[in-house]
Amino acid sequence: MSARLPLGKEPETEGKIFCRPGGVASPRFGWPPSKRTGRLQEVEWTKSGHRIQLPRNGTERSGEQKDARVCKYLYYKTHTEPIPTGSGAARDLDLTQRKPFRGLGLWAMSASGGLMEGNQAREDEDARDSCCADEDSSPVVERRNRSGIISTPLSKSLKHSRALSQYIATCSAAAAVANANATRLAQSSLVPTGIKSHSVDAQHRGQVGLTKLDRSALVSSLLDSPSGLHLAQAAELLRRASMLLPVSDSSNIGVGGDMEAVSASDSLGSVTDFPLLSNGGGVGGAFPFHPGLFIMTPAGVFLADGALSQVTGASEQQQAHSEMAAAASANAKKKRKRCGLCPPCRRRINCEQCSSCRNRKTGHQICKFRKCEELKKKPAGGLESCDGEEIMSEHWKCCSWLESLSASPHVPPPPGRPPQPQGMLGKIHHYCGISGSTGSESNSVF
DNA sequence: GTCAACGTACCG
DNA sequence: CGGTACGTTGAC
């Protein structure tokens, strides 16, 4: 690579937060889309923040360089001197000329010639994909689906390799979502009962600058996630429940997409265990029903027995039960959605080589390398594969426990499951077998 | 079990 | 209404 910068900290990268592959924000590594003015420059960084040069093909790396390998990303270089066409540097920098598939769909070699493997190769691929977008100044605009995945008609995508540049916006959106989620998580773990409103306000103030894109990305990510899907279903159930509810001013109870609802009395207790619901995604206003009123399963969201008896008359429970059974059977047919978290989901490029890509016109299948791991699994193993009766049986089990929980917050979970000392949410999660690590919980209760 | 093809839900 | 992709089915 002929275009080298002096060693040391790159001024352009100081004091900025960059979007790294996978939507991770980082102050050091990445690329600043708003500032890119020059050419792509590949550099590697030591953990101490110094940029170093790496030997070319086949050269053994020093210890420091080995450390730096994991920190290698591209960034936009501000210099503007042209790079001689045909030179090694030009070859290295002209990443848009790569053919988009090798072996298992991973890039096996870095642009500087170093061997890479597995996720590292994939991450670098993503990084370059995002960076090169503007290098290739083509005005082609491609559509994205809700997950930020480039979606072009088959003919188009086969004609030209994906303009690797077109993922930056997605990346920033993902970073925004990650940021929002981080904020939410921080709030959920830090905010004790009683000072919730202050924190919500603070959070709200802090998020005032959130753009519409940020919010829609957040909402979209929530609704795309398994739990988010449940959230949407919960909203619908709430809407129905509020219609049955003899509330004097029902217009004040809104459970729409943004869940900007006016606070209502809390029938079961505090909702501070459920910040997502209580603060309406940082918008203000409280979720008008206690989350414990809902039982969420892969087959759908149900109102708990106690909830039904509270928000409706006992005579209406029967009707609601049959509605729930209908919903369960309807949801059995419903398409599952990509989890958006697994590596295949995070992959944004069709390999264009697998059978699904080649045969997309008739096969109607997503690229094999982008097929969600969750969708690959059979919906079996849990409530999803069972019939409505089983679902309802599980539902009643949860209901009875939730009712007892609402009567006394210290009722232990049903036998067979050891207690978990993390408040109501912990109990609920434990009772429902939620690990919380993958977001692919088999069933969940709010 | 894998693959191709088709039906169709879902979305813009 | 067209595009994408999940679910299902039948062939191998």
Beta bridge partners of A342: none
What is the pLDDT averaged over residues A416-432? 39
pTM: 0.30
Closest residue (Cα, C1') to C6: A335
Report CA(A437)–C1'(C4) in Å, whole number: 29
Q: For residue A365, give its domain range.
A: 339-374
Nucleic chain C contacts, Cβ below 7 Å: A 145, 149, 151-154, 157, 335-338, 360, 363-366, 371-372, 375, 379
Alpha-carbon Rg of chain A, whole angstroms? 25
Report CA(A365)–C1'(B7) in Å, whole number: 13
Report CA(A356)–C1'(B6) in Å, whole number: 14
- Output the DSSP codes for A256-323: STT--------SSS--TT-HHHHTTTTTSS--SS-GGGEEEETTEEEE-HHHHHHHS-HHHHHHHHHH
Tell me: pLDDT of A332 over 50. Answer: yes
Report CA(A359)–C1'(B5) in Å, whole number: 10
> Which strand B nucleotides have any atom less than 7 A from protein CB atoms?
3-12
Tell me: pLDDT of A434 over 70. Answer: no
Tell me whether residue A367 is in a domain.
Answer: yes
| Contact by Cβ (8 Å): A280, A184 | no
Nearest-CA neighbor of A295 among A397, A153, A413, A445? A445
Closest residue (Cα, C1') to B10: A335
Tell me whether residue A108 is in a domain.
Answer: no
Tell me whether residue A347 is in a domain.
Answer: yes
Report CA(A369)–C1'(C12) in Å, whole number: 24
Tell me whether residue A246 is in a domain.
Answer: no
Closest residue (Cα, C1') to B2: A355
The 3-state DSSP composition of chain A as helix, strand, coil percent (nearest 5) reads: 45, 10, 50
Report CA(A152)–C1'(C3) in Å, whole number: 9
> Which strand C nucleotides have any atom less than 7 A from protein CB atoms?
3-8
Confidence of residue A329 (pLDDT cuts 50, 70, 90): low
Nucleic chain B contacts, Cβ below 7 Å: A 146, 333-335, 355-356, 359, 362-365
Nearest nucleotide, C1' to the C-alpha of A364?
A: C5
What is the pLDDT averaged over residues A11-33? 38
**Cα A279 off chain centre by:** 19
Tell me: pLDDT of A358 over 50. Answer: yes
Report CA(A364)–C1'(C5) in Å, whole number: 6
Report CA(A363)–C1'(C10) in Å, whole number: 14
Confidence of residue A330 (pLDDT cuts 50, 70, 90): low
Tell me whether residue A362 is in a domain.
Answer: yes
Report CA(A374)–C1'(B8) in Å, whole number: 21
Tell me whether residue A23 is in a domain.
Answer: no
Structural domain count of chain A: 1
Q: Which residue has the tokens 């990268």?
A: A13
**Cα A110 off chain centre by:** 27
Q: Residue A342's CB: how many other CB atoms inside 10 A?
A: 19
What is the pLDDT averaged over residues A183-199? 39
Tell me whether residue A358 is in a domain.
Answer: yes
Q: Percentage of residues in chain A with pLDDT exceeding 70? A: 10
Closest residue (Cα, C1') to C8: A333
Tell me whether residue A149 is in a domain.
Answer: no
State how beta strands A40-45 and A18-20 pair: unpaired
Nearest-CA neighbor of A220 among A342, A338, A123, A299? A338
Report CA(A107)–C1'(C8) in Å, whole number: 34
Q: Percentage of residues in chain A with pLDDT exceeding 90? A: 0
Nearest nucleotide, C1' to the C-alpha of A336?
A: C6
Span A42-97, pLDDT tens digits: 334 344 444 444 333 433 344 433 333 333 333 333 333 333 334 333 333 333 33
Nearest nucleotide, C1' to the C-alpha of A378?
A: C7
How far is it, in rounded angstroms, from Cα A53 to Cα A412? 60
Tokens at A402, concatenated: 């939730």
